[in-house]
């Protein structure tokens, strides 16, 4: 197959994914945070492909929390168990009570070695996570999910593709919101504005780059976002970067042949 034929096939595949994303986004039985958002569905389809799992499995475990994609704790545990890297399922051991409580996540790898990660209330207090009231109402539950996340980051990071969990994003957001004084919030707001201006410029350049690489206008036309909303601009950038990355892979595969 020639390079031109490979590129054509790749673009046709992208077109099919775009159409599928648009079709799925119109459904009312997919999670609400994907309904009416074909760009989000497209990215989720790409993530599912890279994780080699079904889109609907990923969609039910992927959320947008404070503008960031995040996996649920249960989804993370499920992915660890399905990774095939461990002889046993992920187990949890709780020790202590109150501010001394700690939870250890553990499993045996293929060689029989015990892999583990421990997260306790002393760490949660030191990091400011306990400003999230769930650490008072359901501390063992929160520590369990945190321990699973630490286990994943340490022993099988490829399972997450670098994506944070819902608990991580929520805890960080609460800490930043509660601890930042008003003057710092103004600085953050100004930084966000500057960052968004830079992202808008980046988005424009990516659109030009994608067009020059032969990505069809029909695909680029789907990128219609409110440039004043930083999260929308970031999603559009991610959408374009995936398209360009796939295009480059297609070119490299053509060159090898």
pTM: 0.61
pLDDT tens-digit series, residues 153-207? 999 998 888 888 888 888 877 766 655 445 445 544 555 676 777 877 887 887 8
For the chain, domain boundaries: 85-179
**Three-state DSSP string of the chain:** CCHHHHHHHHHHHHHHHHHHHHHHHCCCCCCHHHCCCHHHHHHHHHHHHHHCCCHHHHHCCEEEECCEEEECHHHHHHHHHHCCCECCCCEEEEECCHHHCEEEEEEEECCCCEEEEEEEHHHHHHHCHHHCCHHHHCHHHHHHHHHHHHHHHHHCHHHCCCCEEHHHHHHHHHHHHHHCCHHHHHHHHHHHHHHHHHHHHHHHHHHHHHHHCCCCHHHHCCCCCCCCCHHHHHHHHHHHHHHHHHHHHHHHHHHHC
The answer to whether residue 122 scores a pLDDT higher than 90 is yes
| pLDDT at position 27 | 92
- Residues of the chain above pLDDT 90, percent: 33
pLDDT tens-digit series, residues 61-106? 888 888 788 888 999 999 999 999 999 999 999 999 999 999 999 9
């Amino acid at each position: 197959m020639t390079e031109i034929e490979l590129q054509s096939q790749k673009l046709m595949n992208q077109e099919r994914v775009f159409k599928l994303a648009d079709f799925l986004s119109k459904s009312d039985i997919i999670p609400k945070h994907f309904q009416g958002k074909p760009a989000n569905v497209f990215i989720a389809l790409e993530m599912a492909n890279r994780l080699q799992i079904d889109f609907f499995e990923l969609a039910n475990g992927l959320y947008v929390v404070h503008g960031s994609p995040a996996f649920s704790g249960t989804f993370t545990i499920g992915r660890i168990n399905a990774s095939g890297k461990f002889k046993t399922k992920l187990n949890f051991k709780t020790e202590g009570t109150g501010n001394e409580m700690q939870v250890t996540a553990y499993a045996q790898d293929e060689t029989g070695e015990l892999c583990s990660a421990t997260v306790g209330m002393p760490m949660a207090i030191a990091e400011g996570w306990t400003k999230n009231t769930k650490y008072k109402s359901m501390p063992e539950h929160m520590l369990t999910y945190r321990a699973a996340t630490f286990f994943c980051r340490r022993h099988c990071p490829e399972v997450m593709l670098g994506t944070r969990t819902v608990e991580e994003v929520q805890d960080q957001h609460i800490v930043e919101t509660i601890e930042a004084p008003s003057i710092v919030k103004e600085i953050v707001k100004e930084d966000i504005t500057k960052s968004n201006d830079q992202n808008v410029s980046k988005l424009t350049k990516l659109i030009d780059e994608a067009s020059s690489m032969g990505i069809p206008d029909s695909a680029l036309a789907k990128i219609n976002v409110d440039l004043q909303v930083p999260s929308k601009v970031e999603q559009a950038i991610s959408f374009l970067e995936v398209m360009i990355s796939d295009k480059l892979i297609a070119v490299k595969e053509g060159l090898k042949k």
